[in-house]
Chains A and B, each alone.
Chain A
Amino acid sequence: MVVVGVYDTPMVNNAEEILPKYWYNIIPDLPKPLPPPRDPLGAEFSRIDLLRTILPKEVLRQQLTIERYIKIPEEVRERYLAIGRPTPLLRARRLEEYLGTPAKIYFKYEGATPTGSHKINTALPQAYFAREEGIEHVVTETGAGQWGTATALSATMYGMKSTVFMVKVSYEQKPMRKSIMQLYGGEVYPSPTDLTEFGKKVRKENPNHPGSLGIAMSEAIEYALDHHLKYLVGSVLDVVILHQSVIGQETIAQLDELGEEPDVLIGCVGGGSNFGGFSFPFIGNGRGKKYIAVASAEIPKFSTGEYKYDFPDSAGLLPLVKMITMGNSYVPPPIYAGGLRYHGAAPSLSLLMKEGIVGWREYNENQIFEAAQMFMRTQGIVPAPESSHAIRAVIEEALEAKRANRKEVIVFNLSGHGLLDLPNYDSMMKRVTSNEQR
C-alpha cells in the first residue's frame, strides 16, 4: 500500500469493536496491596466521610468497589463513540525515518477528541453519573485548562452548569482556554480567588500568588461544599484511571489488528491519569516489556519526591493517599511552560514505580521544546507541551534502539494537541533562543 500524507491511519471502520465494553482496574493485578486512603492522625473531621458529600455517589462507588472489569454504561459508550472514540493509533513513520531508527514508533492520539486531550474520557462518565443523580451543577479545578475544558463540555452535554477554578498564571497566560470553557457554558475563576476561605487565606499571605493545582483543587472542593454542588475529579484517584483505561484497551486491540507486539510503552505524568489509562491494561495483562513515565525536570517529583501519605489538595480536604509527592503545598516555578505541574503521582502508579515495574525520566523545557519541534516538523501534529515530555523519551528510546540495532516497537500516548498552547511554545522559544545566545 502506498502511504500518503503525514501519518498513516491503520484503522477506521470497526469503531464499535475496538471501543471496550468494560473499564479495567489494575488494582487486583498489582504486585502488592495498594495502601488505602486514610484520615490523618487526630483529625478533627473525617475526610473519608466528607467524600460522600463531595463526589457524585456512583463515582465514589466506582472508586471503592474494586473489580478488575467494570461495565461501561451503554449511554457512556455511545458518547465515547460520538466524540470520536476509538482515537486513532498512528505510526510515526516520518519521525522514524528522520531518526534513522530501526524501531517502529506508534502513538495513540488522544488529541483527536473535541476538547483536545484524554481528559474527556473521565469527564463524560463523571458528568453522566452526576446527572443520573439529579445534580445540576458541578465544580472542578484546572491547571493548563485541558481538564476544565473537558468538564465544561461534558457538563453541558448532560445539561448541567459548571464552575472551574483555573490556576491564576494559566488563566492569564492562556486566555483562549478560558474562552473555550466559557463557550461550552462553563464559569471560570482565576485561583486563588476570594470566593473561598482557603483562597482568601492564600491571597492574604501573598496577594500575587500565582496559584497551584493543589490550591485550585481545594478551592473547588470548598466551593462545592459551600454551595451543595458536586466536585468532578480530573486525575490521581483510581476511579479516574479506571475510566482512562479505554485508551490502553483500544491500543491493545489496534496493535493486535496490526499484528504488532509492543516492547516499550511511554507516557507523560501530571497526576498520572493518561499514563495509567494507557499503560495499565498492558501492565496488568503482561503485554510490553518496558514502561516509562515521564515528568518535568522543573517539577522533579520522581527524582526528588518522597513516597508517603500526603493530601492530594493543598488545604487537605481530601483523604491522605500514599503517593510519590513533593508535598501538598508545593508551588511550581511560574515561568515554566511545559505543564505537568501537579505535586504528586497517582497511588497505583507510585506503587508500580516503587516496585521497579514502571521506570521514569525527567526532561527540562529545552529538551521537550526540541522534541516537540522535531515531532511537528516530521509528523505535523502540534503536541501538547505535556505530551512533548513523552515524545522526548520516545526519541531517546528510538536512538538507543538505533545504537543497539534493535527492531523494537515503541508505543506512546500523545495525550493532547497543543493548538491552544502556542503561547507556551512562544515563551519556550524565546527562552531557548536566549539560552543559546548566551
Chain B
Amino acid sequence: MLVVYMTLGYPDNERYLEFMEEAVKNGADILEIGIPPKYAKYDGPVIRKSYEKVAGKFDLWSFLPETRKVIGGTKAIALTYLEDWVQELDDFLCKLKRAGLDGVLFPDLLIDFVDDYQTYSTRVREKGLNNVIFTAPSVPDKMILQVSRQSDLFLYYGVRPTTGIPLPITVSSLVTRVRNLVDNKLVVGFGLSDENDLRKALKAGADGAAIGTAFIQAIDNGGVKQAIDLVIKLRSVLDEF
C-alpha cells in the first residue's frame, strides 16, 4: 500500500493537481492531503516550509474539491491537527465530506486528546468519513492493539518523532515490536524516503509506507516530473513484497 502525502496546493495549485493526478496513475493507493495548520507540531522543516509557502494562496473549501476531480475514485484523506478544528469539529467534518474526501487523520488525536479519542473517532464516522488513527513508538503496546482495531483503511505508525529528518532509528525493530499487535493494515511513515529503510520496514511486516517530505524535495529539485519518478520507484519497491 503506497500512501502519498502532499501539502494542499504545493508548490502552486496547478502543479499540485498535476502531481496528484499523476501519482494516482503511477501507483498511489491512498492520498494524504496536508491542510496547513497553525502549528505543525510533528513536522520537520521541509513540510513546515511547504505550509508557509501555500498559506493564503487558496480558499480551502473551494480548492479542496478540485483534488477529487483529478484523482477519480482513489481514496483521499485530509491530514491536519485536531487542535485547529476541535472547536468547530462537526462543521469541519461536514465540509470535508462535501469536498469529496474519504477520511481524516489527526496526528495529535492520541497525544493531546487521548482521554476523548473514542468520542472524536465516533464523530468522524458519524459524518461518513474514515478515521485513520495515528500511532508512534511512544504509544504503549496495549493502546496500539486497541486502536489498530478502530482505525479505518489502515493504521498509521510514524516511526520518527517528526517528519522529514533522517534521525537514526532501527526501523525493523520498531516494526517488529508492533506488527503482532496491529490487527489491521500497518502503514509506516515519517522519514521513510530511504529505499533501504523502506525495504527493512516491509520485510519486518509493514503493509505499506506513507511518504511525503521526499516528494516535496523532489518537486523543489526537479519539478513534478522528478516527484512522479519517485512515486514510480517507490511503487516498484513495494511491489517486490
Residues in A whose Cβ lies below 8 Å from that of B39: 41
Q: Which of A33-49 contact B (CB under 8 A)?
A: 33-39, 41, 46, 48-49
Q: Which of B133-170 contact A (CB under 8 A)?
A: 135-141, 143, 160-162, 165-170
B167 and chain A: residue at smallest CB distance: A64
Q: Is B98 an interface residue (CB 8 A)?
A: no
Q: Is A67 an interface residue (CB 8 A)?
A: yes
Q: Is A76 an interface residue (CB 8 A)?
A: no
- A61–B165 touching, CB < 8 Å: no
CB distance from A35 to the nearest CB of B (A): 5
CA of A51 to CA of B166, assembled, Å? 11
A34 and chain B: residue at smallest CB distance: B138
When the two chains form the complex, which single residue of A35, A57, A61 contacts B138, counting CB atoms closer than 8 Å?
A35
CB distance from B15 to the nearest CB of A (A): 26
Interface size on B, residues (CB 8 A): 30
CA of A68 to CA of B177, assembled, Å? 8
- B44–A65 touching, CB < 8 Å: no
Q: Is A30 an interface residue (CB 8 A)?
A: yes
- A35–B111 touching, CB < 8 Å: yes
Asked whether A29 and B140 contact (CB < 8 A) given A37-B161, A46-B165, the answer is yes
Q: Mark B101-124, 1 if CB is under 8 A from A, else 0.
A: 000000000111010000000000
- B170–A61 touching, CB < 8 Å: yes
Asked whether A38 and B137 contact (CB < 8 A) given A60-B167, A65-B173, A65-B174, the answer is no
CB distance from A44 to the nearest CB of B (A): 10
Q: Is B16 an interface residue (CB 8 A)?
A: no
Q: Is A66 an interface residue (CB 8 A)?
A: yes
Q: Which of B48-93 contact A (CB under 8 A)?
A: none
A27 and chain B: residue at smallest CB distance: B138
Binding site for A on B (CB under 8 A): 38-39, 41-42, 44-45, 110-112, 114, 135-141, 143, 160-162, 165-170, 173-174, 177
Supplied contacts A29-B141, A33-B143, A64-B137, 13 more A-B pairs, CB within 8 Å: A28-B177, A32-B140, A33-B111, A35-B112, A38-B42, A38-B161, A39-B44, A46-B45, A51-B167, A52-B165, A52-B167, A64-B160, A66-B137
